[in-house]
Amino acid sequence: MATLELSGVTAGYGATPVLRDVDLTVEESEIVGVVGKNGVGKTTLMRTVMGLLDPSNGTVSYHGEDLTGASADERARAGIGYIPQGRDVFPELTVEQNLRMGEHVNAGASRTRYEEIYELFPILEDRATQAGGTLSGGQQQMLAIARALVADPDLLLLDEPSEGVQPSIVDRISEDMRTINDELGTTILFVEQNLGVIRGMADRCYAMERGEIVDEIGGESLTDEDAVADYLAV
Ligand SMILES: Nc1ncnc2c1ncn2[C@@H]1O[C@H](COP(=O)(O)OP(=O)(O)OP(=O)(O)O)[C@@H](O)[C@H]1O
Ligand SMILES: [Mg+2]
């Protein structure tokens, strides 16, 4: 049974839908990417999966259970973690306080993951007492990822992790996500425009144009740079 399955999902903010008839599946332990240019509806997709936006049509199922009407809180408790675009690190709180916020998001979690998180991101332990806002873009992304991991989610939703991260650190983020997937068994759905991150991280990806899934790229095709770049070029 798939970890996540969207079937015929149509969603938007007003009368005109942004997402149109989206079908998408993420199998257990997979890393699936959704690629597409600015404004195609990537964030809208993530918000719909998280339950921050209600679809006007279609269903969102998680481990075979229909979650379409469930609140974001309920989904978090069911094990879905969300790292929004722009990260939403609390700049005035310390790194440690930011991390602890992750516990409240998923109050039902049977365990926390501090040990693994500090092992993966030692910098967060070194900087524990420093204000979140003083970290670099890349470090803030690590903090946001770590915060979502604290409550031990089994599906992580990641919205443009490379945005605002200096190029030399970008590869590190895709490597870290691969490690998280490997070692913690976390299933990952992410959206991206950065070709390197997509190819470095995804097992498979969907291409989105104007709110519709127009292609699926996997295996061999993912190694073909042009196959992916076509959906990103302006
Ligand atoms: N809160 C909102 N209210 C109304 N329209 C919105 C809202 N948020 C996004 N939109 C519109 O929905 C469309 C899709 O936006 P969305 O943010 O999902 O795109 P995106 O693919 O994430 O873009 P980007 O790559 O820039 O992050 C755009 O036309 C955008 O203007
Ligand atoms: Mg977006």
Q: Where are the domains of the chain?
A: 4-229
Q: Is the CB of 18 under 6 A from ligand 1?
A: yes
Q: What sign results for the dihedral spanned by CA atoms 81, 83, 88, 91?
A: positive
Out of 3.40.50.300, 2.60.40.2140, 3.10.330.10, 3.90.580.10, the CATH code matching 4-229 is 3.40.50.300
Closest residue CA from atom 23 of ligand 1: 39
**Looking at residue 107, what is its pLDDT?**
55
Which pTM does this prediction carry?
0.95
For a substitution probing ligand 1, which of 44, 160, 232 has the most ligand atoms within 8 Å of its CB? 44
> What is d(CA 41, CA 64) in angstroms, rounded to the nearest whole number?
25
In three-state secondary structure terms, 93 is coil
Q: What sign results for the dihedral spanned by CA atoms 165, 169, 172, 176?
A: negative
199 close to 162: Cβ distance less than 8 angstroms: no
Q: What is the rounded (10 degree) CA torsion for 91, 198, 216, 155?
A: -40
Of 212, 213, 231, the C-alpha closest to 221 is 231
* H/E segment holding residue 151: none
**Looking at residue 109, what is its pLDDT?**
63
**Looking at residue 224, what is its pLDDT?**
82
Q: Is the CB of 210 under 6 A from ligand 1?
A: no
**Looking at residue 127, what is its pLDDT?**
96
Of 164, 6, 25, 14, the C-alpha closest to 84 is 164
User: For each of the chain's 234 residues, which pLDDT tens digit applies?
Assistant: 999 999 999 999 988 899 999 999 999 999 999 999 999 999 999 999 999 999 999 999 999 999 999 999 999 999 999 999 998 999 999 999 999 998 877 656 667 788 899 999 999 999 999 999 999 999 999 999 999 999 889 999 999 999 989 988 899 999 999 999 999 999 999 999 999 999 999 999 999 999 999 999 988 888 888 888 889 876
Closest residue CA from atom 6 of ligand 1: 13
Backbone angles phi, psi at 133, to 5 degrees: -65, -15
